[in-house]
C-alpha cells in the first residue's frame, strides 16, 4: 500500500474583518500630535490640530498612497497612461483620556470610532514643549501608554462580560447531542478564554494564540485589543535627527513587557511639517541638510503590513495598478477585487512574479523562460504577483 499522505496543515484564519478595504485609526491622548501627523500624512489640513483636548471630534478620513519601489519600476517599464498605487485608509480619531471606558470626555464616541477601524497607529508624545499642554500635566509616554492600554482593555472586558452573560443564560438548556448545542458550548468556552486572557492574564486579545473556530468567535466580537498596534513615538526634531531621546529605551521596555513584537517607529511631527511645506524637489535636499529622512513612507508601509495586506499588480500601456488583498487570498477572490464577474466566472490566472519580470526584463522573456504560470482556483496569491485574469462568458 502506498504511504498515506500527511494531512495538509490547517489554514490559519487571520484576526480581524475579512476583506481588503481595511482602515487604520490614529489613536492617542490629546495633544500628542495625532492631527498634525494625520495632516502631514494625508497632505491635508482635515485634522484639526489645536492646543486643547478634543480638537478632533468627528474622525477625518484620508487614503494614503503606500510607497512601493516595485510599483515605480513597473511604471518605468510600461510607461502607462494611468498609475494607481496601493492605498492605506487612515482615520484621525479624537484624543482618549483616562476614564474613557466609562464615558469620560468623549469616551464612548472615541471607543466606537476605534471599534470601527481594523488597526491602530498609537501616537505617543516624547517631546517637551511648554506651549503644548499635556492633558495629564507632564510628559510621560509610559503612563500615557498605560492609560490607553487600560481603557481599551476595560472596554473589552465590559463587552465580553455582557456577551458571556447572554450566552450563559441561553446555554443552561443546552444538551450534548445536536451539533448546534455543541457549537454553542464551544463558543461559550472561547468567550470564557477571552475573558480570562483580559482579566487574569492581563493580555491584549491579539497576544493570545487562537486556533480553529476560536478565531471566528474572536472576530465576531470586534474587540479593541484584537486590533494590531503600531507605536509611533513623536520626538522633537533635534532628538529625531540625533536618534536620541531619554524616553525611547523606556518605551521599548514597556512594549517588550506588555505587547512584545509590536512595531515601534520614532518620528518627528515638527520635521514632517517643515518638509511638507517644501516642493518635492527641495524636500530631498532639506532631508540631507537636516541629516534625517521623513519617516512617513516607513510608517505607511508598516500600517499596511500590520493589517496583513499585500498587493498584486495588473500591468499594461493603459494602466499599471496595485490591487490590495489580504494575505492568504486565493486567485478567484483576488480577481474579484477588480470586478465580481472575474470571481464568479473565474477560469484561471496567468501569473508571473515581480522578481522574475525584473530579472528577465520583459513579459516575452519571462514567458520564454517558462516563468509565466497558469494558476487555478486553489492558487494562493503572493505579494508582488503580476496577474492577467481569464473569465468565462
Q: Which residues are annotated binding-site positions for ATP?
A: 31-36, 235
Which grid coordinates belong to 216?
A: 471566528
Longest CA–CA span in the chain (Å) reads: 80
Q: In angstroms, what CA-CA distances link 305 with 62, 116, 247, 294?
A: 18, 19, 26, 19
Beta-bridge partner residues of 373: 351
Would you say how long the chain is, in residues?
393
Q: Where are the alpha helices (DSSP H) in the chain?
A: 34-42, 69-78, 107-115, 141-171, 179-199, 213-221, 237-242, 248-258, 269-276, 280-290, 296-306, 331-336, 340-344, 354-360, 363-368
120: nearest Cα among 99, 157, 151, 159 = 151
CA atoms of 108 and 93, how far apart (whole Å): 12
CA atoms of 281 and 182, how far apart (whole Å): 64
CA atoms of 290 and 237, how far apart (whole Å): 9
CA atoms of 97 and 369, how far apart (whole Å): 60
Binding-site residues from annotation:
31-36, 235
Half-sphere exposure of 202 (CA within 13 A, CB side): 5
Beta-bridge partner residues of 24: 90, 119
> Do 315 and 386 meet the contact criterion of CB atoms below 8 Å apart?
yes
For cell 466609562, the residue is: 102
Question: 16's torsion region: left (phi>0), alpha (psi -120 to 50) or beta?
Answer: left
Amino acid at each position: 500500500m502506498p504511504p498515506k499522505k500527511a494531512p495538509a496543515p490547517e489554514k490559519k484564519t487571520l484576526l480581524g474583518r475579512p476583506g481588503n478595504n481595511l482602515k487604520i485609526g490614529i489613536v492617542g491622548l490629546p495633544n500628542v500630535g495625532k492631527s498634525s501627523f494625520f495632516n502631514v500624512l494625508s497632505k491635508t489640513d482635515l485634522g484639526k490640530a489645536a492646543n486643547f483636548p478634543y480638537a478632533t471630534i468627528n474622525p477625518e478620513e484620508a487614503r494614503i498612497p503606500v510607497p512601493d519601489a516595485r510599483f515605480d519600476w513597473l511604471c518605468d517599464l510600461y510607461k502607462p497612461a494611468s498609475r494607481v498605487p496601493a492605498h492605506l485608509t487612515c482615520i484621525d480619531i479624537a484624543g482618549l483620556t483616562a476614564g474613557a471606558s466609562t464615558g469620560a470626555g468623549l469616551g464612548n464616541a472615541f471607543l466606537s470610532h476605534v471599534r470601527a477601524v481594523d488597526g491602530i497607529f498609537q501616537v505617543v508624545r516624547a517631546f517637551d514643549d511648554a506651549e503644548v499642554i499635556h492633558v495629564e500635566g507632564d510628559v510621560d509616554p509610559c503612563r500615557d501608554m498605560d492609560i490607553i492600554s487600560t481603557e481599551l482593555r476595560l472596554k473589552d472586558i465590559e463587552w465580553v462580560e455582557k456577551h458571556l452573560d447572554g450566552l450563559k443564560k441561553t446555554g443552561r438548556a443546552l444538551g450534548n447531542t445536536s451539533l448546534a448545542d455543541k457549537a454553542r458550548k464551544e463558543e461559550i468556552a472561547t468567550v470564557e478564554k477571552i475573558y480570562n486572557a483580559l482579566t487574569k492574564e492581563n493580555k491584549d486579545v491579539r497576544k493570545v494564540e487562537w486556533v480553529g473556530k476560536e478565531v471566528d468567535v474572536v472576530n465576531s466580537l470586534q474587540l479593541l485589543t484584537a486590533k494590531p498596534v503600531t507605536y509611533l513615538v513623536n520626538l522633537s526634531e533635534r532628538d529625531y535627527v540625533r536618534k536620541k531621546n531619554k524616553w525611547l529605551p523606556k518605551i521599548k521596555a514597556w512594549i517588550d513587557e506588555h505587547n512584545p513584537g509590536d512595531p515601534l517607529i520614532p518620528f518627528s511631527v515638527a520635521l514632517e511639517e517643515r518638509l511638507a511645506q517644501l516642493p518635492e524637489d527641495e524636500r530631498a535636499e532639506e532631508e540631507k541638510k537636516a541629516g534625517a529622512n521623513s519617516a512617513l513612507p516607513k510608517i505607511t508601509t508598516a500600517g499596511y503590513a500590520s493589517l496583513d495586506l499585500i498587493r498584486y499588480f495588473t500591468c499594461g500601456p493603459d494602466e499599471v495598478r496595485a490591487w490590495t488583498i489580504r494575505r492568504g487570498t486565493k486567485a478567484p477572490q483576488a480577481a474579484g477585487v477588480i470586478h465580481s464577474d472575474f470571481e464568479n466566472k473565474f477560469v484561471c490566472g496567468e501569473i508571473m512574479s515581480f522578481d522574475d519580470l525584473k530579472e528577465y526584463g520583459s513579459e516575452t522573456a519571462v514567458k520564454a523562460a517558462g516563468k509565466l504560470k497558469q494558476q487555478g482556483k486553489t492558487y494562493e496569491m503572493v505579494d508582488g504577483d503580476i496577474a492577467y485574469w481569464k473569465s468565462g462568458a
